[in-house]
A and B are shown apart, each in its own frame.
Chain A
Amino acid sequence: MHFARVIGRVVSTRKVAPLVGYRLLWIEPTDAEGQPSAKPLVAVDTGSYGDDEWVYYVTSREASLPLRDPFCAVDAAIVGKIDSVDRG
């Protein structure tokens, strides 16, 4: 999984059936310190993640696994919120 911050929303009413009911969010990849590290992308929100939250996401085939219908053409999904990173 990779670090990212939620920076916006994408509103799409007409979309493929497996995506109906899911929000699409703009996320900006970050490093493990929370600093931006790559260009923003759009990810499926499968767990009511909020604006400006620090989250982690999966890409590729695994991105569709949290959806009700796991055979959907998505390539990024937020799968958790980061409370903290402890460097030990």
Chain B
Amino acid sequence: MILARVTGTVTSTHKDPELADYKLLVVQPLAIDGHDEGEEMIAVDRVDAGIGDKVLVSREGTGARQVTGRERVPLQNLIIGVVDRVDFLNQTTAQE
């Protein structure tokens, strides 16, 4: 999994039927120090996340199929948690 920040919402009416009813969010992957790292991507939200939230994103399709219960959902990026805080052994990084 990676940490990411929710940066937008996607409106998409024409899409694969297996993706119907799912909220699509734009997420910006974050490095361990909290800075942006890499390209923004689209993820399906399962935890009612919103713009600005720091989230946990799974990028593996088998897990996405298990969580959604849709065996043929063409999906890899799934938001599976909202991050409250990140702790390290030597320091604590509170969510802004």
Contact = CB atoms under 8 A, between A and B. Distances in A.
B8 A62 contact: no
Given A2-B42, A58-B76, A62-B74, A83 B18 contact: no
Contacts, number: 96
A31 interface: yes
Contact of A62 (B7, B14, B75): B75
Q: For B14, B51, B61, B77, which residue has the most chain A Cβ atoms within 10 angstroms?
A: B14
A88 B72 contact: no
B17 to A, nearest CB: 9
Interface string A1-22: 1110000000000000000000
Residues of B in contact with A, size category: 20 to 34
Contacts of A31: 39-40
A68 B83 CA distance: 38
Contact of B61 (A49, A56, A62, A82): A62
A66 B16 contact: yes
Interface in B1-48: 7-16, 18-19, 24, 26, 39-43
B4 to A, nearest CB: 12
B49 to A, nearest CB: 12
Contact of B11 (A32, A61, A79, A83): A83
Interface of B: 7-16, 18-19, 24, 26, 39-43, 50-52, 61-62, 64, 72-77
Minimum-distance CB pairs A-B, first 6:
A80-B15, A88-B51, A1-B42, A62-B61, A32-B40, A83-B11
